[in-house]
Structure 1
Amino acid sequence: MENNSTKWYLLVFLGCVWGSSFILMQLGLKGVNSIQLGSLRILFAALFLITVGFKHISKIPLHKWKYIALTSACGTFIPAFLFALALSKIDGSVSSILNSLTPLNTLLVGLLFFGINVQRRQILGVIIGFIGCVLLVLFGDGENTTENYYYAILIVIASIFYGINVNLIKKYLSDLKPLTISTGNFVVMFIPALVILYFTGFFDVVHEAKVQTSLGFIAILGVIGTGLSNILFFKLIQISSPVFASSVTYLIPVVAFGLGFLFMNESLSAIQLFGAFIVLIGVYFSSRK
């Protein structure tokens, strides 16, 4: 009973945090470019997690490090750059809705590579969700060109990586504590992210006022939206199921659209709203037991 209540609290909290992450990324992009944003987000999260979880690194068995490396790449490293690139061209509200394809992709990855059972209604959900996704990508409003909306495909790719990540953690890392997994992930990512940041020329412009303002937003994004949230998400995966954990993406569009409407003057066209509705219907069917 305690686990049942806890998983819902975690789900709602993560939905709120990750829903607000989209506006933080957009604010961060006002002073840095997409690659710098992705690198800085990882580095801030890494510094936080290594500080609080350093003692947990030794608790990772040697044979588990390959899964730690895989989950770090699929769950954070690659998606961090994909989201940053996409948000340089499309609204956060659209990105958050497309991110809700994660449960569908978690289901598909689990079916194809991890041997989970699937029902007809879940297959129907995948098809419905894909149709909604196509509507969102192809029918942008007047302020965004169709060419820009092709960047939405990057969000879909990121959601596939998230699906791989969730299944990997559930199958291979459920015996490790969430803080242990998170710290191990960011130990793996720290040096690559730092090297990438160096070659972007970030350290030549770090003194600029707009860059320093962006750093504040990215620090919040990295520490809370990535570091702390990763720990809680891994906990959610362990006490629930992969598809339930990934269903946090149901709540993310609501938060992201609300904040985008209030603070970033974002809006969706009528066809996009219909597409968003179709996506969520697909997610619902795919995630039902």
Structure 2
Amino acid sequence: MKQSFTNWLIFTGLSLTWGCSFILMKVGMEALTPFQVASIRLLSAGISLLPFFFQHIRTTPLRKVPVILLSGILGNGIPAYLFCIAESRIDSSLAGILNALTPLMALVAAFLLFKVPVKRQQLFGVCIGLAGVVMLFLEKGFGDNAYWYYGCWIVVATACYGINIALVHHYLKGYTSLQLGSIALFGVGGMAAAMLFSGDLTVFRGARFPWASVAAACTLGVVGSGIASVLFYLLIQRAGSLFASMVTYAIPIVAIGWGMAAGETITLLQVACLGIILAGVYLVNRKKA
């Protein structure tokens, strides 16, 4: 009973943490640019796991380090910038809904890159999920070009997530999430620092330092990318991958809740589209008895 309660406590914490990340990006961009928010996020995430980097880098085979760094770029680096760029023009709740595409993208990436066989039920689930995305875009009509353009960047970000999941599954088995995360985030954190300090830093030198936006970006990194990755691995160890994967269903619900609290307009059609996407995710992950 106690173990089950702890598992649900971790599950709730992960759902709230990752679900809040979309609104935190909005808060960060109130005073900072999308590139600054993403760079601070990645830099702070790398710093938060720095002690574990020194612990694990010595026991990691050198030939695996480039693969881990590529995993960091695909699983953290590129998506962090794409999500922030997209949210400069679209609602955080929509970003949370589109993020639910990740399991579908993982299946497609595994099939295209590693020829993993796909069952008819899973293919049907992918089609349903993509249909939900198309309906979500059609809700705004064809006249809003920015809505389509920036929304598609999130689809690309979930594709990066999917490729990374397939990459880790096929080339990085046997390594813990903490080991992979600390090395990967050390690499992308260094790249993010170079991008941050080579850009315009005027906003940080002004009379009014953007404390709220910087705090939001740092929270994204330390809690959303650093601590949450450790908790997710712990949940997989304690409750299994099937239970842990259900976080996918809770994240967009939290994102929608924060969007409503922030005054974003959320229609019944958007909620229905989310239901269709999650139905597709269910079919992809469902195992036959």
TM-score by length of 2: 0.88
Aligned residue runs from structure 1 range 21-36, under 5 A: 21-36=21-36
Aligned residue runs from structure 1 range 186-265, under 5 A: 186-202=185-201, 204-208=202-206, 209=208, 211-235=210-234, 240-241=240-241, 247-262=246-261, 264-265=262-263
CA distance in 1, matches of 2:9, 2:106: 21
Instruction: Please say which of residues 57-66 and 167-176 is displaced more in the overlay.
Output: 167-176
Deviation at 1:124, TM superposition (A): 0.8
Match for residue 162 of structure 1? 161
CA contact (8 A) 2:53 2:186 kept: no
Give the superposed CA RMSD: 2.6
Q: Name the count of aligned residue pairs.
A: 284
Amino acid at match of 2:164: N
Match for residue 281 of structure 1? 279
Deviation at 1:3, TM superposition (A): 10
Match for residue 62 of structure 1? 62
Instruction: Please say which of residues 219-228 and 3-12 is displaced more in the overlay.
Output: 3-12
CA distance in 2, matches of 1:106, 1:9: 26
Specify whether residues 78 and 176 from structure 1 end up closer, same or farther in structure 2 by C-alpha distance, changes over 3 A only: same
Amino acid at match of 1:104: L
Specify whether residues 10 and 61 from structure 1 end up closer, same or farther in structure 2 by C-alpha distance, changes over 3 A only: farther
CA contact (8 A) 1:247 1:287 kept: no
Specify whether residues 213 and 16 from structure 1 end up closer, same or farther in structure 2 by C-alpha distance, changes over 3 A only: closer
CA contact (8 A) 2:32 2:203 kept: no
Amino acid at match of 2:254: V
CA contact (8 A) 1:30 1:210 kept: no
Amino acid at match of 2:161: Y
Specify whether residues 247 and 170 from structure 1 end up closer, same or farther in structure 2 by C-alpha distance, changes over 3 A only: farther
Instruction: Please say which of residues 205-214 and 15-24 is displaced more in the overlay.
Output: 205-214
CA contact (8 A) 1:34 1:81 kept: yes
Specify whether residues 83 and 244 from structure 1 end up closer, same or farther in structure 2 by C-alpha distance, changes over 3 A only: farther
CA distance in 1, matches of 2:136, 2:209: 32
State the secondary structure of the residue aligned to 2:210. Answer: helix
Deviation at 1:112, TM superposition (A): 2.4
* Match status 1:86 vs 2:86: yes
CA contact (8 A) 1:138 1:146 kept: no
